[in-house]
A and B are shown apart, each in its own frame.
Chain A
């Protein structure tokens, strides 16, 4: 008896007991829910399993990177939706970062007026729900003039209720080679930077890294481009009848989603950038000046590494938020993963599988972005002993 009491009082035994209770409780609840779901599904005559993915989807998708037709499978439809999600997120992340950095720096400007402008932007954008902003952008897009009276934002770029029309290059074999040369040039530049660093570290002498790297990136593609006869032609959108011909277009839904996501996230990124820059004490700049570094060197070698250390972790979560927020596309009819999955679930009735797949895909995207940003964060993190 006393042995038992002793055992029950030991932290280890109690720990095991609690865990066993907790896990079995969770399993019991889980089993209860699953069994309920299965009975409900069989009562409703809904099939289970992922077999539906190979069946014909039968619905059209407005925009797609792949060639997709209604006769393709549900799986392909979901892949199309996923690619749409990734496209809009990737472009919005770039735009939001640029806009956010500009606004964040502007908010710290010594110019009072610029600072106020940035503050008003940030406080407006952050305190209004994203969904409302998206709906507003979408309504604006839809009520733009028709292609005949399209707004010419910059020459040859037209904004109308059919979306954004912009010129593209006429494709030519020389472009591919020039692109290949660009890739090789970038590889060369990386090698130059590595060699330059090693050279500096071993000999202590400066090495013209920047000019050489730039030359390596710029010269080969230009040479190939000129060598292949400089094929340079634009496919310009031209108004014929009721719509434009030529050029490329993005839909009003995509444009609205892109603008909404970028502007909303830029407000948050601006605050992150601001706090990151403020986190570097002014003494660091002064110390750099005292060492005789140039302002560019101070920014690149002293301020940025320290500011990035503060900026990167919250920035990661903003990128994740942006990707997850792109799911609001379903509200304005952009065919992203959520809206395609939703349509599939409504058609097949296999809601559980569809929602589970959707969640799994988002989880994988989140883990990938988090993994990449963690890797980057380790690179910029403070190395301590």
Chain B
């Protein structure tokens, strides 16, 4: 009995010894010894309990069965520059549909020979977005630069001056529509949302209830219904003979919708300002607008930059809904590209590509907003 138990306990002891040195190698050895680290790390993070071991094995199995076929489809067996017949014969993805249709997906029905103009407009826009991300550039000139870039984009897209041929905006399509709608909607919605948020916080009951009513109405109905309203009811609202084109109507709907959501974000900032700030401004006998513009808003808006960026992301995603009211955005263009009978079987490639475009924009912006949040909190952390 005792003879049996001794080897067991020594084995257990040996096991515990075996465990301890490797633990030590993970934690205490200086950086020189890294060979043992992956094993220690794997044991701590992947195989520390029975359940985790099972889960890890399950994940490995999923990866084993999904990744190789996916890579085969995406890269190995893919056709990059072939005809549609070659694509039909191949087992992999047909990226040649992107090569053939990329102009249609990016620029829609914009005149083919003039497509350098939307390209330049988009490039300007993305460059400007990049510049605006740098905090050192958050100066007054940035607003001016944006105004210039937007004017330049308008000139490029519309034409009619500087020898550029005029392109009416029902010919616009693809990425420029998505980018311009989202950026114009958020830019126009921003001042409106500040007014709405101030109105909602106002002590005057009539103003407050009207603002609350508008915000809650917009937040209570789906964007699709707002877009329907914008596309079919706006023409009825206007006096006879005045017409507004489809793009502007959709932009108006999107702006009102975004403003309601942004107003709630701004309200969050207004509510987060300590009461002492309001009282101090009153004690200095500042007027309401002096108090608001000099004391309250600068602090409140700084606080709500991350939620504003998040709202921009969702506005960017929401622009895809304008396809429902018949505008030609990136998603519509992608769908149109898949309806060509010659390339009909290759819808997955087009949607993967369009999804990737959206994903790149949204993911980088959401990462940026997280970074902003960390920067904003860096002095508050202990």
Q: Which of B308-332 contact A (CB under 8 A)?
A: 313, 317-318, 320-321, 323-324, 331
Decide if B237 touches A36 in the complex (CB within 8 Å): yes
B56 at the A interface (CB under 8 A): yes
For chain A, give the interface size range: 35 or more
Smallest CB separation, A354 vs chain B (Å): 9
Q: Which of A289-338 contact B (CB under 8 A)?
A: 324-325, 327-328, 330-331, 338
Decide if B331 touches A132 in the complex (CB within 8 Å): yes
B236 at the A interface (CB under 8 A): yes
Q: Which of A336-385 contact B (CB under 8 A)?
A: 338, 342, 345, 351-352, 355, 358-359, 362-363, 366-367
Given that A109-B55, A358-B225 are known contacts, is A15 also in contact with B203, CB under 8 Å in the complex? yes
The 8 A CB mask of A40-74 against B (1 = contact, 0 = none) is 11010000000000000000000000000000000
* Residue among A40, A124, A133 having the largest count of chain B Cβ atoms under 10 Å: A40
The 8 A CB mask of A97-141 against B (1 = contact, 0 = none) is 000000000000111111001000001101111111101100100
Given that A132-B355, A139-B351 are known contacts, is A110 also in contact with B48, CB under 8 Å in the complex? yes
The 8 A CB mask of B326-355 against A (1 = contact, 0 = none) is 000001001100100000000110010011
Which residues of B are found within 8 Å of A338, using beta-carbon distances? Answer: 222, 224-225, 228
Partner of A113, one of B55, B207, B223, B366: B55
A187 at the B interface (CB under 8 A): no
- Which single residue of chain A is at the shortest CB-CB distance from B264? A317
Q: How far is the CA of A133 from the CA of B52 in the complex (A)?
A: 32
Given that A358-B225, A363-B221 are known contacts, is A352 also in contact with B236, CB under 8 Å in the complex? yes
Q: How far is the CA of A112 from the CA of B232 in the complex (A)?
A: 52
Which residues of A are found within 8 Å of B138, using beta-carbon distances? Answer: none
B238 at the A interface (CB under 8 A): yes
Partner of B45, one of A111, A132, A133: A111
Decide if A114 touches B232 in the complex (CB within 8 Å): no
Given that A22-B210, A131-B321 are known contacts, is A327 also in contact with B351, CB under 8 Å in the complex? no
B4 at the A interface (CB under 8 A): no
Smallest CB separation, A361 vs chain B (Å): 9
Which residues of A are found within 8 Å of B52, using beta-carbon distances? Answer: 109-111, 114
Which residues of A are found within 8 Å of B294, using beta-carbon distances? Answer: none
Q: Which of B175-232 contact A (CB under 8 A)?
A: 203-207, 210, 217, 219-225, 228-229, 232
Smallest CB separation, B76 vs chain A (Å): 22
A33 at the B interface (CB under 8 A): yes
Q: How far is the CA of A330 from the CA of B222 in the complex (A)?
A: 12
A228 at the B interface (CB under 8 A): no
Given that A139-B351, A355-B233, A363-B217 are known contacts, is A113 also in contact with B321, CB under 8 Å in the complex? no
Q: How far is the CA of A328 from the CA of B323 in the complex (A)?
A: 11
A23 at the B interface (CB under 8 A): yes
Q: How far is the CA of A274 from the CA of B217 in the complex (A)?
A: 30
- Which single residue of chain B is at the shortest CB-CB distance from A40? B236
Partner of B320, one of A109, A112, A127, A132: A132
Q: How far is the CA of A201 from the CA of B236 in the complex (A)?
A: 66
A26 at the B interface (CB under 8 A): yes
* Residue among A114, A124, A129 having the largest count of chain B Cβ atoms under 10 Å: A129
B247 at the A interface (CB under 8 A): no
Extra inter-chain contacts (4) besides given A15-B203, A36-B238, CB under 8 Å: A128-B359, A331-B323, A338-B225, A355-B228
The chain A residues found within 8 Å of chain B, CB to CB, are 15, 18-19, 22-23, 26, 33, 36-37, 39-41, 43, 109-114, 117, 123-124, 126-133, 135-136, 139, 143, 324-325, 327-328, 330-331, 338, 342, 345, 351-352, 355, 358-359, 362-363, 366-367
24 A-B Cβ contacts within 8 A?
Answer: A19-B206, A22-B210, A23-B210, A36-B236, A40-B236, A110-B52, A111-B46, A112-B46, A114-B52, A114-B56, A117-B62, A126-B362, A127-B358, A128-B362, A131-B331, A132-B320, A132-B351, A136-B348, A324-B222, A328-B224, A345-B232, A355-B229, A358-B225, A363-B217
> Which 4 pairs between the two chains have the least Cβ-Cβ distance?
A127-B362, A324-B222, A327-B222, A366-B220
The chain B residues found within 8 Å of chain A, CB to CB, are 45-46, 48-49, 52, 55-56, 59-60, 62, 203-207, 210, 217, 219-225, 228-229, 232-233, 235-240, 313, 317-318, 320-321, 323-324, 331, 334-335, 338, 347-348, 351, 354-355, 358-359, 362-363, 366
